[in-house]
A and B are shown apart, each in its own frame.
With several copies, the nearest count.
Chain A
Amino acid sequence: MSTAPGVNDFALKLANVNGTGSASANGLLMQSIFRMGVPVSGKNLFPSNIQGLPTWYEIRVNGAGHTARSLEYHLMVAMNAQTYAQDVASVASGGYVLYDSSWPLDDDLIREDVNYLGVPLAAMCREHFTKNRERILMKNVAYAGALVALLDIDLDIVSTLLAETFAKNEALRESNQRALRLGYDVARENFPCPLPFRVEARGENQDSILVDGNTAIALGCLYAGATVVGWYPITPATAVMDNFIALCKRYRRVEVAPGEWENNYCVIQAEDEIAAIGMVLGASWAGARAFTSTAGPGISLMNELLGLAYYTEIPAVVVDVQRVGPSTGMPTRTQQGDLLACAYASHGDTRHIIVIPADPHEAFEFAVAAFDLAERFQTPVFVLSDLDIGMNDWIVPSLTWDDSFVPNRGRVLHDEDLANMREFFRYAHEDDDHVTARTLPGSDEKGAYFIRGSGHDRFGRYTEESGAYLQVVDRLRAKHASAAHHVPAPLEVRRPGSRVGLVTMGSCDRAVREAIELLAEQGVDCDYLRVRAFPFADSIRDFVDSHESCFVIEQNRDAQLKSLLTVELSLTPASMTSILDYGGFPLSASTVVEAVLAHQEVH
């Protein structure tokens, strides 16, 4: 499926050593292209390490808006001698390798079908900068400068960005601008600029922003009114909290006396994930909107208390930024391997609500929705994100907030309500969604009850009687089923006459949509359905039933989405074929296209 690169249609990969400051230079390039109004994406493939190991950054420029990961690289910036061999090998035939020519390249790194662009970056920086730190850092900006020239990126935009970034530090601003220019000039002087593939300004990104999912989720939690957080650091979820705290500092401080500020939030770095979810339960029980964010290992540890929350009906929002499992796995690689672990978390009969955003925009909206769902259904709600969404910058439509939004705090009885009641029973008088009313600590004595994870009846009293126990757990099952009508509905895109259906979830979205276009070019028309929540809508069953063949595309080994669909919608397993991609990198369209075509051929 190799295609020739062209104007606004190519991909580059930058190979660096982590901890050397390359991420900023790479981000600078990607953001500049964004500002030129051209669809672009950046994928940071970094190691679970602080300094000294290989790290890559991939930039894909695609005027048609396909910003899923591409597996073809037309230009490689090879800045890491450790990985020279594999980096050179991975350039598409006819492509380019930009390398630091301060040292000669080994002979065996020379490929006949590839063009080499040697820039003496280290030497240049040694010459132009004096401090050791600057010499290392500026190499990155210098290669960025060369790329600006080679790819026809708007130099003014890059300059402006640098100026904004270093607005408060003149020295740094100046040396960055100098390094940029150095690289730019050396490229213009030595290479045919621009290359055949290049960037051409468009007007595309006007209503878009460039944001990562962890930031977006933090924003969602801020806007939803979350006040209490218990959390424990873990890659790739940590930045949700870094961002949430930073946002709170900006928007949630109250001046209680002149110059005296207090916080409208309380973020507690817990001793572990069990404590983190424990704090969330305590806070939610007490009536606050509370959440935690974690990754797989944290979900495993939270299992017991998630069951407690389910059974006692306490709201909780848990953000799971998935990484590669099992166990510690690959903490800086992406996967969708926690779906089952979240759906049925905890021993005994338990089932939870999950919302599954596809990109940072949805991540923001679903984070807000999660709090409403949690309080409406008085139960844990997972926001199932992943490392690709969470830690990469995505172009998404700008976020908007409806200032008339009224949160759904669910059925909570306050003193006024209690005053009109003869007696309050925690788990009695369910509504149409099988939800019963709760009271909050501090409310009138009439509303006081003793919440417990042990067997209880509809009055909230301890019980070991079958009938009384069944009443409660059967209602819980019905309540969960009801939630299917309130969670984000699946997203369907149909093409007339399609007999093939592609079902997917989360961050696979863009790759699958691109695949649909590529498949159409090959004469295979496909409909698209993206599952956006659990419990599942019945329309998913209809979708599967109404297609001759259905593919379920997901990023885990065990076909977790397909399994969950099978069980929960009573689908015939044979009606779906899995496409599984779980090596730890964001999905690309070609993987899907190849799998679908291969299957079509066989059948």
Chain B
Amino acid sequence: MPSIAKPRIPLAPLAHNDLGLTIRDYEGAMSTLCAGCGHDSVTAAISLAFFELSIRPRDIAKLSGIGCSSKTPTYFINGAHGFNSAHGRMAAIATGAIAAQRGLHYIGVSGDGDSLSIGLGHLSHAIRRNVDMTYIIENNGVYGLTKGQVSPSADVGSRPKKGDPNVVPPIDPMELGLALGATFLARGFSGDKDQLVPLIKAAVAHRGFALLDVISPCVSFNDHEGSTKSYRFFREHEVHEIETDFVPQRAEIRSKISSDSARAVTMHDGSVMYFRALPEGYNPTDRVSVEAYLAERKAMGEVPTGLLFLREGAPDLHDMSGTVSRPLADLDLADLCPGNDALQRLQESFR
């Protein structure tokens, strides 16, 4: 591609992990996302986290729905099996996979549209079932792949590239998770790898459903200055033709979130988000105080990041189901079929 040089996912120096693997072993195919898309940073963070955790690629399974975010599992850990499923259904599909094959580390990647619109029901019930997986929402407030409609996480007043400012109150996946009894809730920012990688590692380590909300800016549908609401056939507009098919190359946004004060980060659309790492002494195990803290910061217009809530030791899907520790998918018919004698005995009761 002469016109747009796609940066390869940034890599750490070629260190070896406990398995003797390098970060290259945790890479995937070349990204086809827009240059500067936040999702690519999350991809890199995921690669790095699994590398640092020294988990064999084959012991990982990666799943997604549909969306730009949901394309990303192709871009990390080639050696892991992956399932790019249908829009909004990943949580349900992952639940089935985990029920069948408990021997793997499951990572699901989804978007705010995928998870909070069409997939809200499945996400919510996967939370309730405490399905043992890491579930990342690459949250950009828009439907990237369908070109920029507002998503359910868009703030009131935020203005999509096309169409009117959003008027419907957003769903905050963290507040939702608290209401549904989630056991692990964390928020990161694609531009702060230093914070994000440990959060992913913690999520992978958590036994149960770990929900990780990662603010991940969309360069393509948040880069408009002023109003672009007019349409092709009106021709009263200015540069519509070009805007719809020209995507400028943007640098990735990076910012390290310090723990002492809220840090302002300017997004591609010029808006400013205030990220705040959790204060010292924050207690992620007390739901009521967590709710109060989130509400307080929200009122200040800040977005708290970090491990927001944690409840360890809660039963997961397998505990609830009482399944054997050997993965069900590994059982043979001999383990499962009662045989003809049993059938004949059973049929005594059918007479």
CB < 8 Å neighbour of B58 from A245, A400, A443, A452: A443
Q: Are B118 and A50 in contact (CB under 8 A)?
A: no
Q: Are A279 and B233 in contact (CB under 8 A)?
A: no
Q: What range describes how many residues of A lie at the interface?
A: 35 or more
Complex interface residues of chain B between 210 and 249 (CB less than 8 A to chain A): 220, 229-239, 241-242, 244-249
Taking the closest CB of chain B, its distance from the CB of A108, in whole angstroms, is 17
Closest Cβ neighbor of B80 among chain A residues? A448
A262 and B233 in contact, given A168-B238, A268-B99 (Cβ under 8 angstroms): no
Q: Are B96 and A280 in contact (CB under 8 A)?
A: yes
Taking the closest CB of chain B, its distance from the CB of A391, in whole angstroms, is 11
B54-98 interface bits toward A, Cβ cutoff 8 Å, 1 = contact, 0 = none: 000111010100101000011000111111111111001111111
Expressed in whole angstroms, the Cα–Cα distance for A215 and B350 within the complex equals: 10
Which A residues touch B92, using CB under 8 A? 230, 270-271, 274-276, 278-279, 282
A197-232 interface bits toward B, Cβ cutoff 8 Å, 1 = contact, 0 = none: 000000001001111000100010011110110101
Taking the closest CB of chain A, its distance from the CB of B167, in whole angstroms, is 11
Taking the closest CB of chain A, its distance from the CB of B49, in whole angstroms, is 18
The answer, yes or no, to whether B150 is at the interface (CB within 8 Å) is yes
A281-315 interface bits toward B, Cβ cutoff 8 Å, 1 = contact, 0 = none: 11111111010000001000000110010000000
Q: Offer 28 A-B interface pairs, CB within 8 angstroms, sorted by A.
A: A17-B1, A23-B241, A50-B147, A51-B33, A79-B3, A133-B248, A136-B3, A166-B238, A166-B239, A168-B236, A172-B242, A223-B343, A233-B147, A242-B231, A243-B233, A262-B324, A264-B335, A265-B323, A268-B96, A279-B96, A282-B95, A283-B99, A283-B329, A288-B99, A398-B344, A398-B347, A401-B343, A448-B78
Which B residues touch A288, using CB under 8 A? 99-101, 328-329
A297 and B86 in contact, given A264-B328, A280-B96 (Cβ under 8 angstroms): yes
Which B residues touch A269, using CB under 8 A? 149-150
Taking the closest CB of chain A, its distance from the CB of B306, in whole angstroms, is 29
Taking the closest CB of chain A, its distance from the CB of B38, in whole angstroms, is 13
Query: Which of A1-9, A246-254, A378-386 binds B?
Result: A246-254
Complex interface residues of chain A between 324 and 367 (CB less than 8 A to chain B): 327-328
Which A residues touch B247, using CB under 8 A? 19-20, 50-51
Interface, chain B (partner A; CB < 8 A): 1-4, 6, 32-35, 57-59, 61, 63, 66, 68, 73-74, 78-89, 92-101, 103-104, 117-118, 120-122, 124-125, 129, 143-147, 149-150, 152, 162-163, 220, 229-239, 241-242, 244-249, 317-318, 321-325, 328-333, 335-340, 342-344, 346-347, 350-351
Which A residues touch B242, using CB under 8 A? 21, 24, 137, 172
Q: Are A103 and B2 in contact (CB under 8 A)?
A: yes
Expressed in whole angstroms, the Cα–Cα distance for A21 and B236 within the complex equals: 19
Closest Cβ neighbor of A444 among chain B residues? B58
What are the 6 closest A-B residue pairs judged by CB atoms, nearest first?
A: A282-B96, A278-B92, A279-B96, A445-B79, A19-B247, A288-B100
Q: Are A281 and B96 in contact (CB under 8 A)?
A: yes
Q: Are B89 and A442 in contact (CB under 8 A)?
A: no
A137 and B143 in contact, given A274-B89, A283-B329, A297-B86 (Cβ under 8 angstroms): no
Closest Cβ neighbor of A226 among chain B residues? B336
A454 and B61 in contact, given A169-B238, A281-B96, A442-B103 (Cβ under 8 angstroms): no
Expressed in whole angstroms, the Cα–Cα distance for A230 and B324 within the complex equals: 18
